[in-house]
Structure 1
Amino acid sequence: MSLDILTYLFVGASFALYIGIAIWSRAGSTKEFYVAGGGVSPMANGMATAADWMSAASFISLAGIVSFAGYNGSAYIMGWTGGYVLLALLLAPYLRKFGKFTVPDFVGDRYYSSTARTVAVICAIFVSFTYVAGQMRGVGIVFSRFLHVSIEMGVVIGMIIVFFYAVLGGMKGITYTQVAQYCVLIFAYTVPAIFLTLQVTGHVLPQLGLGADVDPSFNAAWGGKPVLEVLDGLVQELGFTAYTTQGTDSLFNLFFFTIALMAGTAGLPHVIVRFFTVPRVKDARVSAGWALLFIAILYTVVPSVGAIGRLNLINTVNGAEGTGTTYSEMPTWFKNWESSGLIAWEDVNGDGKVQYAAGSPFVGGKPQFEGDQRAEDGHRLVSNAIEGATFDATKQPFANEVYVDRDIMVLANPEIAQLPDWVIALVAAGAIAAALSTAAGLLLVISTSISHDLFKKTLTPNMTEKQELLSARLAAIVAIVIAGYFGLNPPGFVAQVVALAFGLAAASFFPAIVMGIFSKRMNKEGAISGMVIGLVITAAYIVYFKFMGGSPDQYFMGLTPEAFGTVGMVVNFVVAMVVSSMTPPPPEEVQHVVEDIRIPRGAGAAQNH
């Protein structure tokens, strides 16, 4: 059976499953639409949370980042996993005890202000749309390669699928769909990882691959040497920074970036709302534990997949002797991915060989393609300029002739390693599951924020439940269309776009939630001021450097846009506390509520008897 037929079968079967679940679990009330009726079991909620949280960035892009960034890529792993622990232990149980459907709902009631609720709605929409852009791009990438359609058409197909189970099913449909999606994506990620690790190191467990030795049957010259030692030597010979060293990125920026990812994770509205779908506060804690276990299964595999993927790429493209492979002899996977525009070759020295090294061979960045043709359109001039490395002919045998988009590393890995076609088809289904599961959760946050928090709680409080449910579905439809646009015009590769969303969440939501739970003195004036200023300065920094041509030498304290969310968060905290100290304290009943959500019912009863 051909790869195309297998891919259609795997992806088609998964789509049928998702839509079938959505129809079966269609929401019939606002409570079912917003929080799945509040009756989801902790284990099922843990799986749904893991699928919701492990987006296209985790499945498609994370191993690619680790593959190319090496040491610096660890910030993504530490930030995202550490942030989830922070959310599970510090915030989720208290938010569940507060008993509100959404983050804007919590902010509005805790800070006794419709203005605070409206600001939170704006923050939720801003963060969610930034995040969902990465998911829709991920869907487009997968479809463009495996279903042989354009990235634009892939995004449209993804929009249609999400429409069915997000608009019809609401949180109830999304929850049970995400349980199925987790099963698909974790199987699709770990099975190829086992094959790859076994092929390169002889070990079955991918978690052990990074510390293992290269099997001589994979490459005789590398055999018996540790994977990291081989990779370090190879990338340095090719002009890259050593895989296991910090490189040009400052430790200061790396630290701030990690903190932004952690705080952003803990402030993501689409993850927080998952803890409202279980019956009790205790169940919220248990489901958080299950989710952490399910997330760890994938995240402990990522470092090995990234490192082995880079080894495979170099071994395949540059050949066993490291001098390059003639284009006519390049394997099918290379030419297949060329047609998507996510990998490209230009013969710099005219020797007919494909040679991979540091730097970009194309002036002006990413090349563009039409079908299988590498058209000479005047925008793809050849350059020997090396980015981040000095060209030294004694250490670096040739200039770079290959453009590789890091978002394809996980998707192309099975093909590079010549794994069976059914594994390649499985990866396609898993990548789509990862992207769609998070996209659905984000779109629900957007629609809920508009229908429940903006209309029902602020603008039209007298609307009926039926009208509210209709407005939620209409808002979801509009959100899907806008999300599709952002998916077609993303400001970077998948994980980079997602990182920006985490920075925005860290600068806006995280301080307001933390202070709302742990500070009785924090009032509405402080919270509103902090959220507005934190979001504005972070968004302005991102827009200036990502869209207005700002130069890296203008970075504030050397911080990249992805890391600046930590500065926005600190400013948020400081402004909120200063303004709060200069304005009246919250009403006494609000202070009692804050104290009640932190102290278990019955505390101190034993001493009273």
Structure 2
Amino acid sequence: MTVQTWTYLLVGITFALYIGIAIWSRAGSTKDFYVAGGGVSPWANGMATAADWMSAASFISMAGIISFAGYDGSVYLMGWTGGYVLLALLLAPYLRKFGKFTVPDFIGDRYYSKTARIVAVLCALIVSFTYVAGQMRGVGVVFSRFLEVDINTGVVIGMVIVLFYAVLGGMKGITYTQVAQYCVLIFAFMVPAIFISIQMTGNPVPQLGMGSMLKDGSGTYLLDKLDGLSTELGFDAYTEGKKSTVDIFAITLALMVGTAGLPHVIVRFFTVKRVRDARKSAGLALLLIAILYTTAPAVSVFAKTNLLSTVSNAPYDSMPVWFKNWEKTGLLTFEDKNNDGKIKYVANREENELTIDNDIMVLANPEIANLPPWVIALVAAGGLAAALSTAAGLLLVISASVSHDLIKKVFNPNISEKGELWAARIAATFAVVIAGYFGINPPGFVAAVVALAFGLAAASFFPAIVLGIFYKKMNKEGAIAGMVVGILSMLFYMCKFKFDMFGGGSEADWWWGISPEGFGSVAMVANFVVSIAVMQFTPPPPKEVQEIVEDIRIPMGAGEAVNH
């Protein structure tokens, strides 16, 4: 069978599975819709959390970024993995014990203020929409190549699928769908990695294969060959970085603390029965995530080596089928500037004739390595599983922020449970449409967009959550001022240097040499400073709030999450 036939078959089977699970586990109450009834087992929650966490950025874009950034791309590995540890150990158990469904719900109650709740809802919407734009873009990329439809049509198909199981099943449907999606995406990521590792080095473990000798008898190590191919073409050596230490630190920190403030990951810890189960599922999720994260650097090395070996100074007419197929998507383009019929892929932009989108590297990797069609199709199914699982989690955050945190808690406290459930579903529908628009008109490649979402979460939520848990004297005025300053400063910097607004600016103009992806660290510090400074000149929180803060740090006695 052809790659396209295999793709239709595998994607069709996985989509049917997701829809079947959504129908089986459809939500019948707001508790089902928001936290899957609060009775998910640690194993199931660990797998669902891993799928929720490993988005299109992890599956599709991360290895693509590392392929082109080399050593500098390691910031994504360090930041995202370290951030999950920070979330699991520092915040999740305490938030779970507080017993709130959403981050705005925690902030609204902890800071005893409707204004704080509204600010938190606005921050959650900004973060979630920025993040979901990357997921829908990932869906469009996969569909455009493997189902041979244009990216916009691919985004629309993805919107319909996500809408169906997110709106019907809520968190209950999403949780069990994500368990299936984890199995699909991890199998799809590992199978080609193992195949190519054996093919190139004879070692079946990709993590070890990356540092092994090539099995062509040359006695050359794989990384040495890649360094040589890179420097021959004028690129930096793959194993050497060029980013400043300050920027690497800033990006890593922004990704870490942004992870700890991501609302769609935090809500997963409310779907289990006990605080102990939240800790257990966090540990399991970390192990399951590590399988992909330790393999991604190997995949990037395999993909980049095979790509350079195939295209460097090769006649355009001799290019294999995969090259022509990706050209059709517009994500790989060749312009014969010197009319010699050969592909000149070099670091010099004026002479370079080949443009490659980072997002194609993982998806094209099995084709470049000439693996069987079913493996190529499996990667397509895995990419879709990764993008759809995270998109669904984000859409639930958006719908819960509107229905639970705004409508029920602020504008209409007397709304019935059925009315709130309908409001959540309508909000999710609107969210899918807006997410689809961002997928069709994305502000950058997947991981770049996602990295900005982490910066926004770091700038807004992290200080408010940490101070809310560990500093009982933090009051509503300080938290509100901090969140507003943090999110606005991050948005300003992002718009100025990423989207050339407010007069724009080049890399040389970055403040303190920090990139937009890393500025969340600076905005986070500003949030902390403003929060604590404002707190000094405003009344302390009520005594009962201070007692709640002390209580949530006591390990024992946590019950089920309830919808207050």
Same fold (TM over 0.5): yes
Counterpart residue number, 1:292: 286
Counterpart residue number, 1:570: 525
Q: Residue type matched to 2:314 in 1?
A: T
Alpha-carbon distance between aligned partners in 1 of 2:557 and 2:420, rounded to the nearest angstrom: 37
SS in 1 for 2:333: strand
Counterpart residue number, 2:192: 192
- 1:592 deviates by 0.7
Counterpart residue number, 1:240: 235
Alpha-carbon distance between aligned partners in 2 of 1:235 and 1:286, rounded to the nearest angstrom: 43
**Larger helix proportion, structure 1 or 2?**
2
Counterpart residue number, 2:268: 274
Q: Does 1:176 align with 2:137?
A: no
- 1:349 deviates by 2.1
Q: Give CA deviations for 1:163-216 in whole Å, capped at 9, x if unaligned.
A: 110000000000000000000000000000001111111100011122111121
Alpha-carbon distance between aligned partners in 2 of 1:207 and 1:230, rounded to the nearest angstrom: 17
- CA pair 328-264 structure 1, distance change in 2 beyond 3 A: same
In the TM superposition, 1:265-344 aligns within 5 A as 265-318=259-312, 324-344=313-333
Counterpart residue number, 1:224: 219
Q: Give CA deviations for 1:350-407 in whole Å, capped at 9, x if unaligned.
A: 21112222144xxxxxxxxxxxxxxxxxxxxxxx2xxxxxxxxxxxxxx321111010
Q: Residue type matched to 2:293 in 1?
A: Y
Counterpart residue number, 2:561: none
Counterpart residue number, 1:108: 108
Q: 1:463 aligns with which of 397, 415, 439?
A: 415
Counterpart residue number, 1:390: none
Alpha-carbon distance between aligned partners in 2 of 1:584 and 1:201, rounded to the nearest angstrom: 66
In the TM superposition, 1:123-202 aligns within 5 A as 123-202=123-202
Counterpart residue number, 2:444: 492
- 1:290 deviates by 0.5
Alpha-carbon distance between aligned partners in 2 of 1:601 and 1:190, rounded to the nearest angstrom: 40
Q: 2:507 aligns with which of 549, 552, 555?
A: 552
Counterpart residue number, 2:562: none
Counterpart residue number, 1:321: none
Q: Does 1:595 align with 2:550?
A: yes
Further displaced range: 137-146 or 350-359:
350-359
Q: Give CA deviations for 1:234-266 in whole Å, capped at 9, x if unaligned.
A: 11111111111122x211111100000000001
Q: Give CA deviations for 1:97-144 in whole Å, capped at 9, x if unaligned.
A: 000000000000000111101100000000000000000000000000
In the TM superposition, 1:466-481 aligns within 5 A as 466-481=418-433
Alignment gaps of 5+ in structure 1: 319-323, 361-383, 385-398, 604-609
Counterpart residue number, 2:246: 252
Alpha-carbon distance between aligned partners in 2 of 1:125 and 1:264, rounded to the nearest angstrom: 15
Alpha-carbon distance between aligned partners in 1 of 2:234 and 2:207, rounded to the nearest angstrom: 28
SS in 2 for 1:344: strand
Q: Residue type matched to 2:245 in 1?
A: L
- 1:554 deviates by 1.9
Q: Give CA deviations for 1:484-509 in whole Å, capped at 9, x if unaligned.
A: 00111111110000000000000000
Q: 2:256 aligns with which of 234, 251, 262?
A: 262
Q: Give CA deviations for 1:21-77 in whole Å, capped at 9, x if unaligned.
A: 001100000000000000000010000000000000000000011111011000000
Counterpart residue number, 1:392: none
Counterpart residue number, 2:538: 583
Alpha-carbon distance between aligned partners in 2 of 1:139 and 1:602, rounded to the nearest angstrom: 43
Aligned residues: 555
Counterpart residue number, 2:15: 15
In the TM superposition, 1:506-517 aligns within 5 A as 506-517=458-469
The TM-score normalised by the length of structure 2 is 0.97
Further displaced range: 46-55 or 325-334:
325-334
Counterpart residue number, 1:388: none
Alpha-carbon distance between aligned partners in 1 of 2:384 and 2:395, rounded to the nearest angstrom: 16
- 1:602 deviates by 7.7
SS in 2 for 1:325: coil
**Once superposed, what is the RMSD of the aligned Cα atoms?**
1.0
Alpha-carbon distance between aligned partners in 2 of 1:66 and 1:545, rounded to the nearest angstrom: 22
- 1:565 deviates by 0.4
Further displaced range: 551-560 or 519-528:
551-560
- CA pair 602-114 structure 1, distance change in 2 beyond 3 A: closer
Alpha-carbon distance between aligned partners in 1 of 2:367 and 2:555, rounded to the nearest angstrom: 54
- CA pair 359-404 structure 1, distance change in 2 beyond 3 A: farther
Alpha-carbon distance between aligned partners in 2 of 1:281 and 1:439, rounded to the nearest angstrom: 26
SS in 1 for 2:355: strand
- 1:281 deviates by 0.3
- 1:551 deviates by 2.2
Q: Does 1:519 align with 2:508?
A: no
Larger Rg: 1
Alpha-carbon distance between aligned partners in 2 of 1:161 and 1:536, rounded to the nearest angstrom: 34
Q: Give CA deviations for 1:73-93 in whole Å, capped at 9, x if unaligned.
A: 000000000000000000000
Alpha-carbon distance between aligned partners in 1 of 2:429 and 2:461, rounded to the nearest angstrom: 25
Q: Residue type matched to 1:244 in 2?
A: T
Alpha-carbon distance between aligned partners in 2 of 1:335 and 1:447, rounded to the nearest angstrom: 41
Alpha-carbon distance between aligned partners in 1 of 2:556 and 2:181, rounded to the nearest angstrom: 37
Counterpart residue number, 1:85: 85
Counterpart residue number, 1:61: 61
- 1:94 deviates by 0.4
SS in 1 for 2:210: helix
Alpha-carbon distance between aligned partners in 1 of 2:229 and 2:172, rounded to the nearest angstrom: 50
Alpha-carbon distance between aligned partners in 2 of 1:342 and 1:601, rounded to the nearest angstrom: 54
Q: Does 1:421 align with 2:376?
A: no
Alpha-carbon distance between aligned partners in 1 of 2:143 and 2:354, rounded to the nearest angstrom: 23
SS in 1 for 2:257: helix
Alpha-carbon distance between aligned partners in 2 of 1:357 and 1:94, rounded to the nearest angstrom: 52
Counterpart residue number, 2:203: 203
Q: Residue type matched to 1:130 in 2?
A: T
Q: Give CA deviations for 1:298-324 in whole Å, capped at 9, x if unaligned.
A: 001011000111000011112xxxxx2
